Amino acid sequence: MEAQKNNYLFKITAIGALGGFLFGYDTAVISGAIGFMETKFSLTPSLKGWAVSSAILGCIIGALTAGYVADRVGRKKALIITALLFAISAIGCLLAPSFTLLVIARIIGGVGVGAASMLSPLYISEISPAEKRGSLVSLYQLGIVLGIIIVYFCNYLVAQAGDEAWNVAYGWRYMLGSEALPALLFLGALFLVPESPRWLSKNGNNAEALRILEKLNPKEKAIEIHQDIQKALQQEKGRLSELFEKGFRTAIIIGVILALFSQITGINAIMYYAPEILKSAGFGVDSALMQTVLIGVINSIFTFVAIKYIDKAGRKKLLLWGILGMIVCLLVIGGLYQFDALGGPWLLIFILGFVACFASSLGPIPWVLIAEIFPTKVRGVAMSICIMVLWVGVMLISQFTPVLLSDLGPSYTFWLFMINAIFLWVFTYRMIPETKGKTLEEIEMGWKK
């Protein structure tokens, strides 16, 4: 019986994590297509930038609105809407007769990414037992990483299917359109998952909530969790202003700081611009691209490390050690540039070290914490605020990293990221509580003490 419950839990968690897979897929698919799109539509540099960044605009819109939708119609229906957005975007990109319609399709896909970045961790956190919640929510981050790696492979296969002229005419469409397959798989699979029991309880459907909890937990444990949910809901006001009252105010500050600083401590600068950074250090083009794939592999491996240890070592301990490792790597990377010591493998080694430290801490853990620290009645809206801030951070890094590298130089750019990481380490040490092994209701009660 226990094995059956675990299998059911893993199945619905994996379906929820497909939102992360589509997040990674949609974010990275443009990298293989943009060169052919540039030729096809005779894009100026500004229009080329708009083709890429238009999706980020959609992400901000999706993150900002998804919480409200999830609180109104339920987590499951909101995820179904998100899957439809992914599918519409992919088909729209495949068939777009003009650049304007292509951008509109990209924005729609961005709305899906932004919504999924809030809804998938939210859903997984609300169905997961306390002792497994960290590792299960971390599957969402693993989904992102796998989506990125697989779309790189798909882009490569499409590009190899024809010559340059074929790719300019058709190849980029098939790259962008390929997302329809996992999107439709996600859409169909969502009809197999239950609604969040916490959302059901919030909306008065206690019998169905208890039935779902009993499918996920032993009966006695399910009844206990259901009683805790009821007790917490009775004490909540359900108003957004509740987040800014004493206690919960700390939770929203933690969520916003984690979301923002997970993006402005250097990871996206490395992920977006790794080939350029490595080429500037003297690596050849093919070598730089190959090492970018290696960065993706390291990212995947150390995400598994986080999944294994997040519910054993705890969120806070992994964050502190991971961020400390990032600080050391950023210090050395900046020093290698400053003292022109770029010969040999050291730059690549410390970039890989930075990615490993990030993937085992600041990659998955913010998703876990943001999904578990807020009260049930306003969890959707509170997460929307945090994830919107995260996407603003992504947009800032994508826009200003080239400027920083050009004006400050690589050494001071990486040291600036190091200063951000030092601030985040101190903030984590002083402000973030350990939530390992606690139910969502126990975490909520902790803010009120």
Which one, of 101, 122, 111, lies nearest residue 58 by Cα?
A: 111
Cα–Cα distances (Å) from 316 to 119, 195, 361, 362, 368, in that order, read 23, 30, 9, 10, 11
Q: What pLDDT sits at residue 288?
A: 54
Q: What pLDDT sits at residue 379?
A: 81
> What pLDDT digit, counting tens, does each position of 344-401 carry?
788 888 989 999 999 999 999 999 999 888 887 778 888 889 999 998 888 888 777 7
Q: Are 23 and 89 in contact (CB under 8 A)?
A: no
Is there a shared CATH topology between the 1-193 domain and the 241-449 domain? Answer: yes
Low-confidence ranges of the chain (pLDDT < 70): 1, 235-243, 247, 272-292, 449
Q: Does domain 241-449 match CATH 1.10.3720.10?
A: no
Cα–Cα distances (Å) from 329 to 49, 281, 324, 347, 368, in that order, read 30, 16, 9, 9, 25
d(CA 145, CA 139): 10
Q: Which amino acid is at 439?
A: T
Q: What pLDDT sits at residue 224?
A: 86
d(CA 104, CA 96): 9
Q: What pLDDT sits at residue 438?
A: 85
Domain ranges of the chain: 1-193, 197-235, 241-449
Which one, of 428, 415, 296, lies nearest residue 362 by Cα?
A: 428
Q: What pLDDT sits at residue 105?
A: 96
> What pLDDT digit, counting tens, does each position of 175-203 carry?
999 999 999 999 999 999 999 998 998 88
Architecture of domain 1-193: Up-down Bundle (1.20)
Q: What pLDDT sits at residue 54?
A: 86
Q: Which three-class secondary structure string do you get for the chain? A: CHHHHHHHHHHHHHHHHHHHHHHHHHHHHHHHHHHHHHHHHCCCHHHHHHHHHHHHHHHHHHHHHHHHHHHHHCHHHHHHHHHHHHHHHHHHHHHCCCHHHHHHHHHHHHHHHHHHHHHHHHHHHHHCCCCCHHHHHHHHHHHHHHHHHHHHHHHHHHHHCCCHHHHHHHHHHHHHHCCHHHHHHHHHHHCCCCCCHHHHHHCCCHHHHHHHHHHHCCHHHHHHHHHHHHHHHHHCCCCHHHHHCCCHHHHHHHHHHHHHHCCCCCHHHHHHHHHHHHHHCCCCHHHHHHHHHHHHHHHHHHHHHHHHHCCCCCHHHHHHHHHHHHHHHHHHHHHHHHCCCCCCCHHHHHHHHHHHHHHCCCCCHHHHHHHHCCCHHHHHHHHHHHHHHHHHHHHHHHHHHHHHHHHCCHHHHHHHHHHHHHHHHHHHHHHCCCCCCCCHHHHHHHHHC
**In the structure encoding, which two tokens stand for residue 125, read together?**
């956190």
